């Protein structure tokens, strides 16, 4: 292994290539020092990263590739967005997007292995593509990165380089120098229509948690509504976790004794506090697996009572959800929503819940719309839940579904207009 310092990177990077594809750990696991060192060496390259945070290189000469767009690249003119379910991204690396360089953020070695820690998902597939393509894999090994068990464990001798650092994690993946700034700039509360944000989240969370039985398996994200749902789950028993993202909520469930101690807690990445990272470190109950496994609908459907809880920007009267675009511009991407919606609907006792507020305060508009103008992220859920109530979808014909959405999910001030639009759409 020749690469042990940042200075030695220039000896293995091909600066003559203009189309060099560099896959980098994303979300909250960006290897900032390693990425910046590589960026200083390569005049041009293609950087592929999931959910890239603010601070990643965005300059002339860098093409920003992603199947899930983060805040750091969302408005960049250099963004190349690949519409793709996350479970299918590994196939892109095999068929269409061969990888030349992989930059990973790992734990320090334990018994001759490092771990990808909090970010596994597409990285094993990227490493395999690089190997098949004659590429290289460089690790930034950090004592702050937990050692997680699963598909992210890599023998040190399989790496082309490993550079040890002592680098803290910033909030939500922000570079360390932006951490204080991000911590001290809370978002201003948005205006509401009647019920305030905290109360609406509490109401939605309570209705969602009421639908979840003891022994169910959960897929939950991060945010106010998942957090509010959590409050109603603390008294449940025998719960399992099969999710894309493992967040801090799992700590509260574990402390409350709501989790089944005999079931593995499965995710493809971890995104949360230092406390969560410490809890994941060498935890035999946690498995962080590659996205082809966690997001495969066939695997998801094997979990008892699989309950997928997702949100969207809009839901229309045909129960189609848009969670990825605003005014035709990409905001995020499909993510795992489609995979988990399909998998949950096929699971024994499973359900796919769409949970969202009925009114978007910043845009001052209804989130329940007659017909989507944007591409569909997912469709045909078990139920749509807003602060106004539960609109049951599964097992009802399209006219009844539309009526349920208008009467039970939509904001009262938009219902009359939605009824008129439903007539025009032939849904009444």
Cα(153)–Cα(143) distance, integer angstroms: 15
How much of the chain, in percent, has pLDDT values that exceed 90? 83
Confidence of residue 178 (pLDDT cuts 50, 70, 90): low
Whole-structure pTM value: 0.92
Q: What is the pLDDT of residue 173?
A: 65
Mark whether 164 is an active-site residue: no
CA atoms within 13 A on the CB side of 219: 37
Q: How is residue 91 written in tokens?
A: 């196939």
DSSP secondary structure string for all residues of 72-130: TTTT-TTEEE----GGGHHHHHHHT---SEEEEEEPPPBTTEEE-TTB-BTHHHHHHHH
d(CA 367, CA 386): 10
Q: What is the dihedral of CA 106, 339, 400, 419, to 10 degrees?
A: 60
Tokens encoding 351: 């359900």
- At 1 the pLDDT is 56
The answer, yes or no, to whether residue 235 has pLDDT greater than 70, is: yes
For the segment 260-273, the average pLDDT, to the nearest whole number, is 95
| pLDDT in the model for residue 333 | 87
* Confidence check: pLDDT of 419 > 50: yes
State how beta strands 359-360 and 365-366 pair. Answer: antiparallel
Name the band, by pLDDT with cuts 50, 70 and 90, for residue 98: very high
Q: What is the DSSP string of 376-395?
A: PSEE--SEEEETTEEEE-TT
Q: 76: Cβ–Cβ under 8 A, 6 or more apart, which residues? A: 58, 64
Catalytic residue among 153, 167, 244, 392: 244
The whole-number pLDDT of residue 10 equals 92
Out of 3-17, 187-201, 394-408, the most confident range is 394-408
DSSP per residue, 48-80: E-SSPPTTS--STTEEEEESS--TTTTT-TTEE
Distance, CA of 390 to CA of 209 (rounded, Å): 12
Q: Where are the beta strands (DSSP E) in 146-230?
A: 153-155, 161-165, 217-219
Task: Give the mean pLDDT of the chain.
Answer: 92
Six-digit token string for 146 = 């937990």
Separation of alpha carbons 210 and 271, rounded Å: 26
pLDDT over 70 at 20, yes or no? yes
Token pair recorded at residue 97: 């997007």
E strand residue ranges, 119-222: 136-142, 153-155, 161-165, 217-219
- Rounded-to-integer distance, Cα 359 and Cα 366, Å: 4
Predicted pLDDT at 183? 44
The distance from CA 197 to its chain's CA centroid, rounded to whole angstroms, is 22
pLDDT at 192: 44
Alpha carbon distance 116, 108 (integer Å):
10
Determine the pLDDT at residue 362. 81
Q: Once rounded to an integer, what is the mean pLDDT over residues 307-314? A: 94
pLDDT given at position 198: 84
Give all domains of the chain, ordered by start, each with its CATH number. 6-179 (3.40.1080.10), 197-244+295-424 (3.40.1080.20)
């Amino acid at each position: 292994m020749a690469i042990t310092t940042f200075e030695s990177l220039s000896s293995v990077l091909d600066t003559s290539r203009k189309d060099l594809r560099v896959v980098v750990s994303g979300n909250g696991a960006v290897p900032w020092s390693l990425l910046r060192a590589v960026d200083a060496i390569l005049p041009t390259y293609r950087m592929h990263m999931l959910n890239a945070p603010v601070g990643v290189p965005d300059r002339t000469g860098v093409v920003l590739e992603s199947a899930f767009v983060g805040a750091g690249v969302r408005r960049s003119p250099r963004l190349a967005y690949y519409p793709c379910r996350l479970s299918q991204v590994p196939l892109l690396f095999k068929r269409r997007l061969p990888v030349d360089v992989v930059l990973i953020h790992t734990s320090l070695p334990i018994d001759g292995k490092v771990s990808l820690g909090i970010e596994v998902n597409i990285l094993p597939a990227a490493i395999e593509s690089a190997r098949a393509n004659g590429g290289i894999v460089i690790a930034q090994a950090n004592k702050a990165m937990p050692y997680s068990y699963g598909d992210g464990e890599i023998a040190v001798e399989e790496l082309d380089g490993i550079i040890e650092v002592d680098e803290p994690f910033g909030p939500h993946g922000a570079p360390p120098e932006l951490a204080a700034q991000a911590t001290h700039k809370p978002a201003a509360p948005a205006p509401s229509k009647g019920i305030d944000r905290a109360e609406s989240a509490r109401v939605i969370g309570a209705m969602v948690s009421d639908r979840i039985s003891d022994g169910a398996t959960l897929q939950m994200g991060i945010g106010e509504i998942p957090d509010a749902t959590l409050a109603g789950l603390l008294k449940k028993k025998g719960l399992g976790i099969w999710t894309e993202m493992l967040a801090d909520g799992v700590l509260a469930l574990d402390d409350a004794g709501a989790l089944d101690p005999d079931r593995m807690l499965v995710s493809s990445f971890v995104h949360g506090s230092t406390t969560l990272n410490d809890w994941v470190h060498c935890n035999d109950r946690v498995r962080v697996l590659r996205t082809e496994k966690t997001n495969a609908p066939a695997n998801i459907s094997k979990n008892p009572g699989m309950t997928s809880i997702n949100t969207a920007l809009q839901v229309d009267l045909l129960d189609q959800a848009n969670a990825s675009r605003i005014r035709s511009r990409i905001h995020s991407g499909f993510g795992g929503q489609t995979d988990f919606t399909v998998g949950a609907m096929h699971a024994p006792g499973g359900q796919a819940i769409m949970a969202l507020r009925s009114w978007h305060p910043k845009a001052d508009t209804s989130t329940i719309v007659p017909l989507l103008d944007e591409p569909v992220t997912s469709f045909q859920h078990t139920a749509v839940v807003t602060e106004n109530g539960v609109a049951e979808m599964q097992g009802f014909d399209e006219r009844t579904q539309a009526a349920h959405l208008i009467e039970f999910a939509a904001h009262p001030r938009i219902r009359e207009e939605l009824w008129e639009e439903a007539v025009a759409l032939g849904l009444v």
